[in-house]
Amino acid sequence: MQEKRIEKDLLGEIEVPPSVLYGAQTRRAILNFPLAGEQTIGDYHEMIDALMIIKKAAANANLRSGHLDRQRVTAIIGAADAVLAGAHRDQFPIHYLHGGGGTSANMNANEVLANLADESLGGWRGVYSKVHPNNHVNLHQSTNDVYPTACHIAVIRRWPLLETALRDLAQALRGKAEQWANVTKLGRTCLQDAVEMTFGDMFGAYAAFVERSRERIAEAVDHLHEVNLGGTVVGRTDSLPASYLELIPEELGKAAGDPKYRMAKDLFLATQSPDDMVAVASAIDLFARGLLKIASDFRLLGSGPEAGLGEIRLPAVQPGSSIMPGKINPVVPEFVIQLCIQASGKCSACAMALDHGELELNVWESLIVFNLLDSMRLMANAARTFQERCIEALEVDVERNKRNAETIIPLVTRLMAKHGYSTISDVCKEASGDPSRIRILLAKRGLT
């Protein structure tokens, strides 16, 4: 093992730890963007997988088009496969919000693969005598097309985590809708009594919202299969061999195990605007806000035990007070609400990053993709926890709901359909809105 390792780049010499697989540009990124306890790109395994998939695709496209020899390509692909299998994840230590529009992340991947490939061919780390980060691993690529494509792949690969959680949540809500399909409850508008409905109606609507959210997010995620790989700098393809350009979409699909990947219709637009990723964030934001509403409903409907609504009974999962014996708080809905607010904030950051994509390249894609990946994880956790720790064990107070549904507003609304709005409204006016007097007057006038 070398005692000291010096590498060179555009800015000159820099010392790199002898044992690491990355090189000069990664080392500069480590120094330029201090972690301060924050996450690295290596902490997001989908992003590292995405970069490896792209490098495999490019290597094979370059082999088939005659621009790289089989020995180098085999070495590069072998290195990428090792990383995809979970090895060397600690060799991606760059701050996840590094500057430079993803250059550091792309070069981190190039350097790690070059060193692994070079060593497999008998070379030494940091020498790049047989496989070079730029000349071979990054051949016919630019950060401008590699990084946006990697962002798309990372989001697509994380989507199943959220999608499964949404399917399970919707199924749990549908189950409750069927279980209590005929249990009547009081509907409310403006936090005031309205008309009777059923718990089947309520839980059915919640389930429909989750299903609609899943469809909306799925559609936005699916659009991310359109990528700008091959657009190199700002969307230009004229510097690439036609043979490579023709092969790269096919090779990307093979490397990803997903044939849906395709080249963007307008590579300049795809480089300028990550609005397609922000569309995913917007769909997730809508789901977060809607799930927050449902969790808030549960808090209200479960309030009590005596002075609240008390129409549903949330599972008691922990004591609710250090001083009040017997108090149980709706901690799971409160946990879900906080996750929703956090996810919504991250989605708002994605939208803000779209505002600042000056001229030909939006350099804020790190902020977008990692906030998006975080929001997907947060909402998967929210959906899963809500389902498993709250909804599945939730119960309905049938008797209390029956009493609430027999209150005055549902009654006068039913009578209005029979006797007309004006007739019933006059009774309510004469009684000054007092429910007891309304009932007496209705009986006296034979309107009941």
Neighbouring residues of 147: CB distance < 8 A, sequence distance ≥ 6: 101, 102, 103, 105, 106, 365
Radius of gyration of the chain (CA): 30
Nearest to 104 by CA among 60, 147, 145, 75: 147
Residue 437 burial by CB count (10 A; 0-12/13-18/19+): exposed, middle or buried?
Answer: middle
Q: Are 56 and 3 in contact (CB under 8 A)?
A: no
Q: Are 376 and 401 in contact (CB under 8 A)?
A: no
Q: Are 79 and 116 in contact (CB under 8 A)?
A: yes
The two tokens of residue 172 are 């749990």
Neighbouring residues of 330: CB distance < 8 A, sequence distance ≥ 6: 298, 299, 302, 314
Alpha-carbon torsion angle 57, 61, 64, 70, nearest 10? -60
Indicate which residue of 142, 282, 321, 425 is catalytic.
Answer: 321
The three state secondary structure string of 72-116 is HHHHHHHHHHHHHCCCCHHHCCCECCCCCCCHHHHHHHHHHHHHH
Q: Are 162 and 379 in contact (CB under 8 A)?
A: yes
Identify whether 321 is a catalytic site residue: yes
Q: Which residues are catalytic?
A: 321
